[in-house]
Amino acid sequence: MSARSLSLLVASFSLVFALAASAAPTRHHYRHHASHHHKVSGPALLVRGDQVSTEGLVDAVADAFADTGDGHLEVTPFNTVDGIDQAISGQVDIAAVARPAYPKRTQEAGLTFTPVAWDALVLITNSSNPVSNLTLKQVHEIYYGKITNWSQVGGPDEKIDLDGVASPLDGVQFSFRRLMFGNGDNPVAVPRLFINIDSLQSEVSLDTKALALSTLVHARRQKGIKIIHIEGVTPSLATLENATYPLPLTIYLAYKSDSPKLATIQKFLAFLGGNRADEILRSHDLLPYAQALVLNSKTEMDRINAVGARMVAEGLPADYAPGNEFARLAREYPDLAHKMRLQQIAAEQVAKANQQRIALAQQAGVDPSPQAAPAPAASATYTVVSGDTLSKIAHNKSVTVEDLRKWNHLHGDMLRVGQQLKVTAQ
């Protein structure tokens, strides 16, 4: 494809996006963004940011942090940019957001962005929709407007109602586009925009044709929707931990290094790195950042290149794939014959990446397979002892964390010593 053709295509996507933002039925389901009230102890830290980060992570640990006596949190969910801007101006102490600093907004360089946890970017649809899996290439083509009907991905002959969040530079949308397109503000063909993730998920629960982006933690709060597997892998705490799920999401806390409350902020960050916070985060399907050994062994560009390699192996033209590796190859091999060779190169890179992933997972002591087949257990039950986690028990019993949750009717990862768990389906 010529540079001119590519430019025209990108321009058309920009036009679609602009028209969507101005003319499409944007659903302004506002809700009152009052501060969430938690236990009060020590100095107050004002936290504002997107719903995913504030309600998913900060709310989860707020009361436990107050119990330390080092401070307490006053949390106001709204959106990514508002949280960042208020942290820059000093109106709040911390912005909790689902993306790193954006280089094109130079004012964001005034904040320190600290990664504290991993969530998963997930595609959601109505629970009645029969489609349960998408490839990365299919997701790419849906967001570029090339796939517009559910029948193109194995579903009914119905138009895909693709929904998104209207807020500019929303953390979830930005991080998703960075992985899928190599650019966090890449224009996409999303015709229906909503004010926040809560209103978006509400719509998906009512619309049988809807498709939208959310996160693992947030999607589990809404009835009537289901999470779609990507490349046959179920997003879960386990598949985040062994890095087999291809769309991880980092949650950040951003603050000013000269904040008058820096000492209390540092105490909160230290608390987030401790055992008590680890237990709480895992019980909410969040992976504590320091424990993500396999994910953290790769850079963001490594992850983008891995996504690009998979999409090119599935037939996406290399010059459309994210990642610097494929852009370089496309420039070096412009004719069609060499582009066909790129697919073979990409397949070889996927195989190499899989070998590296398995080696890293084994070094970290986790199961590298996304859905290991259950092995016969010596007993149908297991008694929880001190130090046990669902991930540890699942690994030792050769089952998945999701199976343990299902068999024992658990909604999170919290366990108590002496608890009896079923470790088989019987």
pLDDT in tens, 279-293: 999 999 999 999 999
Burial label for 5, CB within 10 Å (0-12, 13-18, 19+), is exposed
pLDDT at residue 329 greater than cutoff 70: no
Q: Give the pLDDT score at 270.
A: 93
- What is the residue type of 56? G
pLDDT in tens, 301-319: 889 999 999 998 899 988 8
Q: What is the CATH number of the domain that holds 178?
A: 3.40.190.10
In a domain, residue 302? The reply is yes
Residue 368 pLDDT grade (very low, low, confident, very high; cuts 50, 70, 90): low
Q: Give the pLDDT score at 357.
A: 66
Specify whether 214 is located in the same domain as 274. Answer: no
- Residue 33: HSE in the Cβ half-sphere, 13 Å Cα cutoff: 19
Listed in sequence order, the residues at least 6 apart from 299 whose beta carbon sits closer than 8 Å to its beta carbon are none
Specify whether 12 is located in the same domain as 136. Answer: yes
Higher pLDDT, 34 or 288: 288
Specify whether 156 is located in the same domain as 209. Answer: yes
Q: Across residues 6-27, what is the average pLDDT?
A: 37
Specify whether 388 is located in the same domain as 255. Answer: no
In a domain, residue 25? The reply is no
Q: How far apart are CA 277 and CA 64, in angstroms?
A: 8
In a domain, residue 29? The reply is no
Q: Across residues 306-335, what is the average pLDDT?
A: 77
Q: How far apart are CA 32 and CA 47, in angstroms?
A: 16
> Contact 76/90 with Cβ under 8 angstroms?
no
In a domain, residue 417? The reply is yes
Element (H, E) at 344: helix 336-364
Residue 17 pLDDT grade (very low, low, confident, very high; cuts 50, 70, 90): very low
**Domain extent at residue 400:** 381-422
> Contact 147/198 with Cβ under 8 angstroms?
no
Residue 426 pLDDT grade (very low, low, confident, very high; cuts 50, 70, 90): low
Residue 419 pLDDT grade (very low, low, confident, very high; cuts 50, 70, 90): confident
Element (H, E) at 336: helix 336-364
Length of the chain: 426
pLDDT at residue 334 greater than cutoff 70: no
Specify whether 81 is located in the same domain as 57. Answer: yes
What are the helix (H) ranges across 228-335?
A: 237-241, 262-272, 275-283, 293-296, 300-313, 324-332
What are the helix (H) ranges across 1-92?
A: 3-23, 51-53, 59-67, 80-89
Q: What is the CATH number of the domain that holds 413?
A: 3.10.350.10
pLDDT in tens, 152-198: 999 999 999 999 998 778 999 999 999 999 988 888 999 899 988 88
The secondary structure of 96-113, three-state, reads EECCCCCCCCHHHHHCEE
Average pLDDT, the chain: 82
> Hey, which residues does 94 pair with through a beta bridge?
47
Phi first, then psi, for residue 203 (nearest 5°) are -65, -40
Specify whether 177 is located in the same domain as 132. Answer: yes
In a domain, residue 31? The reply is no
Specify whether 282 is located in the same domain as 321. Answer: no
Specify whether 338 is located in the same domain as 402. Answer: no
Specify whether 233 is located in the same domain as 105. Answer: no
In a domain, residue 125? The reply is yes
Q: Give the pLDDT score at 32.
A: 39
Specify whether 148 is located in the same domain as 283. Answer: no
Residue 26 pLDDT grade (very low, low, confident, very high; cuts 50, 70, 90): very low
Specify whether 8 is located in the same domain as 137. Answer: yes
Element (H, E) at 165: strand 161-165
Angle among Cα 100, 104, 105 to the nearest 5 degrees reads 75
Specify whether 78 is located in the same domain as 125. Answer: no
For 288, 311, 344, 367, 372, the CA distances from 396, given in Å and listed in that order, are 21, 34, 38, 10, 12
State what percent of residues in the chain have pLDDT above 90: 52
Q: Domain count for the chain, please give it.
A: 4
Residue 64 pLDDT grade (very low, low, confident, very high; cuts 50, 70, 90): very high
Q: Across residues 54-73, what is the average pLDDT?
A: 91
Q: Name the residue among 10, 15, 26, 9 with its Cα closest to residue 163.
A: 26
In a domain, residue 277? The reply is yes
In a domain, residue 373? The reply is no
pLDDT at residue 328 greater than cutoff 70: no
